[in-house]
Every structure is written in structure tokens, then in C-alpha cells.
Amino acid sequence: MKLDKNTVIGFSLLAILFFLFFWYNNKQASAFQAYEQHIKDSIAKVNASKAPIVDSIKEKMAAAQHDSAFRTEKAGRLKNAAVGAEQITTLENDVVKVTLTNKGGRIKFVELKKFKSFDGTNVKLGTETDKLGYKINTSNNTSAETNDLFFTASAVDNKDGNQTISYSLSDSSTTPVKHTYILKPGNYMIDWNIDLQNTNQLLTNGQVNFVWNSSTTQHEKSANYERMQMSNICFYEDNDFDYISRKTEHKFEKPTNWLSVVQQFFNTTLVAKNNFNSGNVSWQRATVDTAPRLATVDASFEMKVSGANASIPMQMYFGPNEFQTLKRQPAPDMAKIVNLGRDMYAFVRPINQYIIMPIFNLISGLNLGYGIAILLLTIFIRLITAPLMYGSYVSGAKMKILRPELDELKKKFGSDQQGFAMAQMKFNKEAGVNMLGGCLPALLQIPIFFALYSFFNTNITVRGQAFLWSKDLSVFDSIASWHTSIIGVNHISLFTITAVLTSFLISIYNMGNTPTQDNPALKYMPYIFPFILFFVFNNLPSALTWYYTVSNLITLILQVVIQKFIINHDKLIADIEQRRKNPKVKQKSKWQERYEQMMETQKKVQELKAKNGGK
């Protein structure tokens, strides 16, 4: 059949129409299927969302019933204490507010009325998650933690100024467990007496197993400094004070009287008047710098009791790390919680305890302000050390006079460092100059600085005290800060800047007393050392950097005054010339002999290398 043009066009249009029809129908079907699927999915989601709610409610109800049944079973003959509602009671005196709970019959947390945290609220020691309790047998086959049982609280009794409250666990006929808390006026220590009846039923082999879970939170400006530098665990074991800071655990194998969870200026201490027999403690610092939590502590102790009924006298301290306050506590050596010098720095503790602390307390008692008290303390320290420093200043003055001659001597020897060193020793000896005299001020600063570092880091009396631009002398005085740490620095302390600048001025001034240096390390040390000081001092308490600033200024003033107005330079020059004309024969020390022998050996080695072409 022959198809004409019109037929071809007609079939083509028909094909296009069919195509468009099927395409449109297919699109509509797909859209309808998608809509249907959407409806189904929506219905499924609604059903799915409804089902878990019902199931969750049922599960929670079932879990609560199971938990209640489980608690009741574990409570045994103390089933009335298995389930209950938490009730809060408070005891107060002029320094603390103690919050107690009937759940566990224990202290929940304590607020210190005279101390503020970094956020302006009262310092609170203890958290909602802290627990302190022990396990008791509630039947022949079951036992329970006292922390999980609901005690019955008595009314608060006020007698002789003391506040007393008791928490009891009772069965049908007796009161086998009783906790009594006594808060005395003006006291941070709380008495906690535990009375147990029928111990042969309550305890296994007469042993009480205490468990203490505690955590510390930020109270100072820098959580990281408080966490990493100042937090530690202290304890009194085998009649001796000890602590752990870098270690994370300790096992108690000898009688232990107390354990303290320590922050920079506060501590929480558990005291067993009759001693724990054994135990262990583990603690972990928090790792997140921005978190308010500092550390978590888990401790367990064992204590043996005897007799049908037992009374266990305990105490808990919630308060400041104030030396005199801790010294008054009945528990032994609690004052050592205040770190006035430990381990390799233990030699500074007597300096702090018997010199710096009494003098500082005396000066601060004048009520001139703590910044002025630190200034006066610095002046006192410099007056005490002045006789020792004077000799070094005289040596410095002599070296300044002799510097031109030493520079000429250095030019003469050129690159021969050993030769110059030996000639310089002879030259100084003839002139009566002590080469080590200039080192004395720096060496003398070391024990004083370490003593004051411990003192100001732990001295709670400077906490919150403002001076000049510093709002709190116990922390760094930040004048600029930023979030991102740059080379370990996220702020700038102004007293650190003043300490660094005054150190730089002293270095520059002392450069005039020494011959010109060709060694780059020695030449640029006066510039490098203050730069290093910035990174050392920037996080330190502003009380310490203020002390260092004042000490540097006094040093600089003394050097100028002594060398310009006290030392007679003409007499020194005459004395030097006289010594050169009539040198006194003085027996060399063994150190001098060994040093000269070493220098001679090095000189011969250099000469030998020079002969062999530097090989």
C-alpha cells in the first residue's frame, strides 16, 4: 500500500498523541502512587509515634514497679525504707549552711557563707551526684547501700548553740542504724556519729565498707589552672601526712585517719576518729578546659568494729584551705593541706611558715590593703637580704670600672676563648673581683621565689582582694583575652608585663658591667630571658607578679644608688691598683685548681687542632 504525504503526517500525529497520552497517564499514576505512599508513610509514622509512647509509659511503669519490688526485696526487714520521697533539711551557723537529705541520711552539699565563687554565688562544696555511705545486711540473703535507703529524720535540736539532727532506719522492733549530725557555732567541721545495733546481723565479719564518690567544681577564675596546678588528694596514713597529685590512685595499707579532696582554696575532708583499717582512692581530672568540673574522686575504706552494738565517730570538713583554721581542727596535720612547699621544694616550707606568713599577717593586719602589704613584704625581704647583696653590687661596680680593660684583653685574644677566660680569671684575681658575685642576686631569688610561689598560690587571704587594675590578687590580672590559644597564651597579664619589663631593664643595666660578648647565646640572653619569663609568669597570681615587679624595681634602684652615690669609685680604682702592685699570695681552692686545669687542657686541645689544620 502506498502511503501518501497526508497519511504519513496523520500517523505521525497519532503516534505523538499516543506518546503524550501514555506519558501523561504514566506521570499521573506515578504522582498518585507517590501520594498514596506519602499517606501510607504518614499513617505509619503516626502509628509508630503512638506506639512507643504507649510502650514507653508501660515500660516505665513496669520498670518502676520492678525497681520498687527490687528495692523492697533488697531492703529486707527494712522494707519501710525501700521507697520514699526525698526530704531536705538544713543546719546553719555563721560560716556554713549544710544541706542534708533523708535519702541515705547524709550530707548532700555545703555552702560557705563567707566565700564567693567566680560567678558571684556562694562557694558550694559537694554536688547533687556525690554519695557517701556503706553496705548493711538487711536479711540473711540480701544487703543494701545506705545511700539507696530512705531514713526517717528527727526534728533539728538546738542545744548549747549546737544544731543536731538524727536519721534513723527502723524495722518492726528496733532501730539498727542511726546517723547523727552535729554542727557547732563558727565551725566548718561537722560531727557525724554512726550507731549500729546487732552488728552481727548488719555487718559481715564486723566490717564496715565505706564508699565515697565525690566531685569538685570550679570556684576560681581559671578552671584549667585550678584543675591542673592546684587540685590534689591529701591524706593522713600511718601517722604521716601524704598526698597525690600526678598519680591517679593510692592504696591504703596502713591505718588512715582522714582523706581530703583538695581544690586551690577549699577542701572536703572525711575523718575517721578511730581510723580506717585499709582502703583505696582513685581520682581523675576533667579534661575539658571549659567544663566547670575539675575532678572526680572514688574512694573506698574498710573499718573493723567489735561488740553487739557499735558507735563509729566520724567527721566531715567543708571549708577553706586557711592555715590557722586547719591547724585548729582535731584531725592531725590538716594544716599541711595548705601547700607551703612539698617534695623537692619542701625546704621553702619553714621559710613560709616561720618567716613570710607571720610577717605578711602582721603587715596585712595594718589594714593598708593587700597590694600595699605585698609591697611592704617585698621591702622587708630586700632589707633582710641587703647585706648579702651589697658584696655583689661592689663586684658589679668593679667590673664596670674594669670593662674597658677587659674589652681590650678580649681583642688581644680574639677567637681564643679559653685563653681569654684564663687571662680574665687572672685579671679579676689581681683586681680583687669575685666573678661569682654577680650570680648571688639571681641565686638568692630562687628559694625566695619558690617560697612566695607556694605562699601566694595557696594564701586564701588575698583571694578576691583588688589592687590597682587587678580585681583579684589570687589570679592573673588579664587586660586582654581571646578564645583561641596562641603558643599556649589566651590572655595578657599586665603585672606580668611590668615584671618582664623591669627584668629587661636590670639585664640591660648589668650588661654595662661585663665585657662585650661575641657568643650570640650570651649576647642576646638579656633579651631572651625576659621573653621566657612572660610565658612562665602569665598564668601566675597577680600577687606574685606584683611582688616580682616591686623586687625588680628595688634591685634596680639599689644598684643605681649604691654604684652612683655609695661606692667610692676613686677608692675602688686605687684599691685595684694597689692590689696589682702588691698582690697577696692566696692559696687556691680545689675548685679553682680544677677549673684552671680544665682551661689549660682545653687550650692545649685547641692549639693541637690548630697545628693539624683544624682536624
Contacts of 461 (CB under 8 A, 6+ apart): 322, 361, 364, 370
Which residues in the chain come in under a pLDDT of 70?
A: 1-73, 75-76, 288-291, 391, 393-394, 396-398, 400-402, 415-419, 426-444, 512-526, 567-573, 575-615
The pTM of the full predicted model, rounded to 2 decimals, is 0.76
- Amino acid (1-letter code) at residue 426: K
Rounded Cα distance between 544 and 552, Å, is: 12
The CA-atom distances, in angstroms, between 445 and each of 116, 186, 355, 378 are: 34, 40, 16, 12
DSSP for residue 310: E
pLDDT at 561: 80
**DSSP of 192-225:** EEEEESSHHHHSBTTEEEEEEEEEEE--SS-HHH
pLDDT digits (tens, 9 = 90+) for 510-559: 776 555 555 555 566 667 777 888 888 888 899 999 999 999 998 888 87
As a whole number of angstroms, the longest Cα–Cα distance in the chain is 146
The CA-atom distances, in angstroms, between 353 and each of 267, 325, 357, 361, 455 are: 20, 14, 6, 11, 9
Rounded Cα distance between 456 and 475, Å, is: 9
pLDDT at 189: 97
pLDDT digits (tens, 9 = 90+) for 384-398: 887 777 767 667 666
